Amino acid sequence: MSFFTALTTRTFSNSARMAAAIKNVTVIGSGLMGAGIAQVAAQTGHTVTMVDIDKAAVDKAEKRIAGSIQRVAKKKFSSDEGEATKFISEALGRLNISTDPVASVGSADLVVEAIVENIGVKQKLFKELDQAAPEHTIFASNTSSLPIGKIAEVTNRKDRFGGLHFFNPVPVMKLLEIIRIPETSNATFEAMKEWGKNMGKVSIQCKDTPGFVVNHLLVPYLFEAMAMVERGDAFKEDIDIAMKLGTGYPMGPLELSDYVGLDTLKFIGDGWMRDYPEQSMYRYPKILAKLVEEGKMGVKSGQGFYNHNKE
């Protein structure tokens, strides 16, 4: 066998091995996104460890998953209650819980991080995990807007690092954005792609650019809808009706902003305004900062543009 053949054969088999190897998944963070990713991974046959240092957050996530998986099972096995119950108990049986990130990556093939959107906190976590995880483990961040390359730079596995960006609600939204940094190897990319497929998602790839594809287009649109409310151009209800009935979106932009979380959107905007001050499309109107300052984060706090408190 020539050197070249040996090399390509090895590269291919490495790629194939890694692509087939993602069985054990560790999800760090048990917020909306972390819990959703862990749930879908467990539903699709992976052994999952969902980790959060905050025990109360894990308890809340377990309740959310229990409710969500019921809805998935009801839809999937609408005419067979026995199959639905089996699906739920098997999926939940594959889902483990931990409050110790470092102890949870020992047998992970893939680690997906979905913790607070703070670059320093993410870097500290990945630096520790890099020491603890096996050589083959792929690391990924589900960040909405932070540069993947910046998070990866503290590790010694940039070739086994990428972005895996899911959408809320994870059990329902079909898309997975896979973000490659220049160092992401083909084998890593192929493994992430294969895993996305096994998770039942349709994946697209994107470079490590601000907001990747979806948030780059979506977030400025949400900001402009808020600006319309602030200027008094139209009522919020009318803006939402307009975009639902005029363009077929499932939610209007102000409903969707409340759903995503106004604090999350402000956080994304703050980062972009700091890093790209010349880009006017990344600026948000004062009304967003005001609502967040008042504790009005949207659905999660019960109040945002709309009141979500059930009577």
Q: Which residues are catalytic?
A: 144, 165, 177, 215
Nearest approach, Cβ of residue 93 and ligand 3HC (Å): 19
Round to whole Å and give the CA distance between 91 and 97.
Answer: 13
CB 101 within 8 A of CB 52: no
Closest-CA residue to 254 (of 268, 265, 269, 267): 265
Strand, helix or coil at 65? helix
Query: Is residue 47 at the binding interface for ligand 3HC, with CB under 6 A as the rule?
Result: no
Query: Is residue 169 at the binding interface for ligand 3HC, with CB under 6 A as the rule?
Result: yes
Helices (H), the chain: 3-21, 32-43, 55-76, 81-93, 119-132, 148-152, 186-198, 214-231, 236-247, 253-260, 262-275, 286-293
Query: Is residue 210 at the binding interface for ligand 3HC, with CB under 6 A as the rule?
Result: no
Instruction: Tell me whether residue 174 or residue 274 sits nearer to ligand 3HC (CB atom).
Output: 174
Query: Is residue 167 at the binding interface for ligand 3HC, with CB under 6 A as the rule?
Result: yes
x-or-dash string of contact with ligand 3HC, 246-265, rule CB under 6 A: ----xx----x---x---x-
Stretch of residues binding ligand 3HC (CB under 6 A), selected from 22-30, 65-73, 94-102, 126-134: 65-73
Residue 203 tokens read as 């994946």
* Single residue of 29, 147, 171, 298 touching ligand 3HC by CB under 6 A: 171
Query: Is residue 273 at the binding interface for ligand 3HC, with CB under 6 A as the rule?
Result: no
Query: Is residue 43 at the binding interface for ligand 3HC, with CB under 6 A as the rule?
Result: no
Nearest approach, Cβ of residue 254 and ligand 3HC (Å): 13
Instruction: Tell me whether residue 18 or residue 146 sits nearer to ligand 3HC (CB atom).
Output: 146
Query: Is residue 71 at the binding interface for ligand 3HC, with CB under 6 A as the rule?
Result: yes
Round to whole Å and give the CA distance between 42 and 60.
Answer: 17
Nearest approach, Cβ of residue 78 and ligand 3HC (Å): 9
Report the run of H or E that residue 51 belongs to, with start and end. Answer: strand 47-51
Nearest approach, Cβ of residue 298 and ligand 3HC (Å): 11
Round to whole Å and give the CA distance between 67 and 70.
Answer: 5
Instruction: Tell me whether residue 149 or residue 253 sits nearer to ligand 3HC (CB atom).
Output: 253
Query: Is residue 195 at the binding interface for ligand 3HC, with CB under 6 A as the rule?
Result: no
Return the axis-axis angle of helices 262-275 and 286-293, rounded to nearest 10°. 130
Closest-CA residue to 123 (of 106, 144, 147): 147
Instruction: Tell me whether residue 21 or residue 77 sits nearer to ligand 3HC (CB atom).
Output: 77
Round to whole Å and give the CA distance between 301 and 294.
Answer: 11
Query: Is residue 205 at the binding interface for ligand 3HC, with CB under 6 A as the rule?
Result: no
Query: Is residue 172 at the binding interface for ligand 3HC, with CB under 6 A as the rule?
Result: yes
CB 77 within 8 A of CB 87: yes
Nearest approach, Cβ of residue 165 and ligand 3HC (Å): 6
Name the DSSP class of 29. Answer: -
Q: Residue holding tokens 């010694």?
A: 156
Query: Is residue 168 at the binding interface for ligand 3HC, with CB under 6 A as the rule?
Result: yes
Give me the residues that bind ligand 3HC (CB under 6 A), please: 68, 71-72, 75, 144, 167-169, 171-173, 215, 250-251, 256, 260, 264
